[in-house]
Amino acid sequence: MPRDDLPVLEMRGISKTFGPVRALEDVSFTAWAGEIHALMGENGAGKSTLMKILGGILKPDRGGEIRLGGAPLHLEGPKAAHAAGIVVIHQELALAPNLTVAENIFLGEEMHRFGRIDRAAMNRAARPLLERLGAPFAPTDVVGRLPLAARQMVEIARALAARARVLVMDEPTTALSERETEKLFTLIEGLRDEGLAIIYISHRMAEIDRLADRVSVLRDGRYVGTLTRAEADHARIVSLMVGRDVASFYKKDHAAKPARAEVLLEVRDVADGGRVRGCSFTVHAGEVVGIAGLVGAGRSELARAVCGISRRTRGEVWLEGRRIDPASPAAAIAAGLVYLTEDRKADGVHLDMSIHENVVLATLSRHARLGVRGLAAERARAREAIARLAIRTPHERLKVRALSGGNQQKVLLARLLETRPRVLFLDEPTRGIDVGAKSEIYRLIDALAAEGLGIVVISSELPEVIGIADRILVMRDGRIAGELHAGPGAPVTQEAIMAIITGTGTKAEAHAA
């Protein structure tokens, strides 16, 4: 993007240390008015630290410089950054839920009359901001009663009220639906067209494709490069982020499984009275089976019905040649069938417990003696799991909340593996984690399959399911509409999967593809 004007933001030679840890080293970053500049990197690469410095939350080490509109900027705190026109919208929104929309928009900058807060004036001033955003709520609505997408609009309205010149958005779509995400994208593009400089942090390549005018990448606290829109293909971005070729992420050899491989799991005509309308499939020892389909096709619901999390209205589940009827997740685990939830924070790991406690939570009785917990044995098992899954932590006593998303996912996987499963259902196992952690999860899946486990991976990312699965089941309207086999010289394509998803291709045609 050729430009002859000054960048609205320049960060030059920014470094930051925390004790012996060097979080940033000599990082430079620029943003122009009227552009969306994506900032990418693995968890721990330094993105959040850099943005906290920009937002006045942290002070850089000596020697760095921040310039806004060409003038040096010295930030004494978040309020100073806000006053200068730099607004950071964090992933965890910083709103007061008990206050109204208008009160949140002008929080810290309230309007007064006769020594009192003038709420009527704030309501009047908030109204054109909300109209500019197309907001479907009023200045007088209480923020705590609004959905998440609406609360994000309130944060953006705060930025407009502050006459923001630079707007930072950190993973803004994490908890949004597809429709809400599309509305947010349209809003962000409109703000760019109005002249804002937008710094957009995301792990999702589809979002970068849609929004970014430029992409800058940090790795291990260092700036490693910037790509223009024309240059920013997935392979180049990933290569910058992890320092190796994207081709190494997935299995290189989808060798056909032996014809006589043991059938570990057989699902016969399972339905749940809702989205799952009668599904049958098998999983062999050492096989990775992918399940693809649109949101609402019934993928997660099928897994939950098989694993005893939700009630089956009909159908049978056979594990290693015997029929099982798990009425609960505990019963399924006892039988050798486990399910990794897609929402690890709400239904998976316990954030305020240690890694050690999380890993052994499902197997406490195994380490106990005469009813007394065997803490030494538990900690030894936790250390073994940390080593096996390459969980990045100084020790097993660290609380899970302190770990990155990818390492939290590994802790949850470690707990499930402690139950010694035969078949493992992984529901969106790499959602919300960076590409480096994804690569490690893929390698772990491949290693577990090599040990003889049967693995079922549910994923919304077609390149992911194609890359790691030996066989792919495609769901549509609560049924398995087609099946595709990966093999040497006959890779499965996204087009073949989409043909089944949309109903434009038959099962036979998909096999031929």
Of 405, 366, 411, 361, the closest CA to residue 390 belongs to 411
Average pLDDT over residues 326-340: 90
pLDDT, one tens digit per residue, over 447-502 is: 999 999 999 999 988 888 988 999 999 999 999 999 998 766 667 888 889 889 87
CA distance 46 to 50: 6
Helix (H, G, I), strand (E, B) or coil at 393: coil
Q: Which residues pair with 89 in a beta bridge?
A: 169
Could you give the dihedral angle defined by the CA atoms of residues 365, 368, 374 and 377, in that order, rounded to the nearest 10 degrees?
-70
Residue 2 pLDDT > 50: no
CA distance 322 to 280: 16
Please check whether residue 513 is in contact with residue 496, taking contact to mean a CB–CB distance below 8 angstroms. Answer: yes
CA distance 32 to 10: 9
- Label each residue of 332-346 as H, E or C: HHHHCEEEECCCHHH
**Whole-number pLDDT of residue 244:** 61
Residue 80 pLDDT > 60: yes
Encoding tokens for residue 408? 């939290």
Please check whether residue 186 is in contact with residue 194, taking contact to mean a CB–CB distance below 8 angstroms. Answer: no
End-to-end CA distance of the chain: 39
Encoding tokens for residue 189? 């593009």
**Whole-number pLDDT of residue 337:** 95
Average pLDDT over residues 341-362: 77
Amino acid (1-letter code) at residue 197:
A
The model's confidence at residue 251, banded by pLDDT at 50, 70 and 90, is: low
**Whole-number pLDDT of residue 336:** 93
Average pLDDT over residues 362-384: 74
Question: Which percentage of the chain shows pLDDT scores above 70?
Answer: 90
Q: Give me the domains of the chain, ranges plus CATH numbers.
A: 9-245 (3.40.50.300), 249-336+421-513 (3.40.50.300), 349-419 (no CATH)
Q: Which helix (H) or strand (E) holds 159?
A: helix 148-161
Q: Which residues pair with 317 in a beta bridge?
A: 267, 324
Q: Which residue has the tokens 């060798």?
A: 255
Please check whether residue 51 is in contact with residue 26, taking contact to mean a CB–CB distance below 8 angstroms. Answer: no
Q: What mean pLDDT, rounded, does the chain reach? A: 86
The model's confidence at residue 220, banded by pLDDT at 50, 70 and 90, is: confident
The model's confidence at residue 507, banded by pLDDT at 50, 70 and 90, is: very low
Strands (E), 357-509: 423-427, 454-458, 471-476, 479-485
**Whole-number pLDDT of residue 328:** 87
pTM: 0.61
Residue 397 pLDDT > 70: yes
The model's confidence at residue 42, banded by pLDDT at 50, 70 and 90, is: confident
CA distance 352 to 389: 21
At residue 361, φ and ψ (nearest 5 deg) are -55, -35
pLDDT, one tens digit per residue, over 85-125 is: 999 988 777 889 999 999 999 988 899 999 999 999 999 99
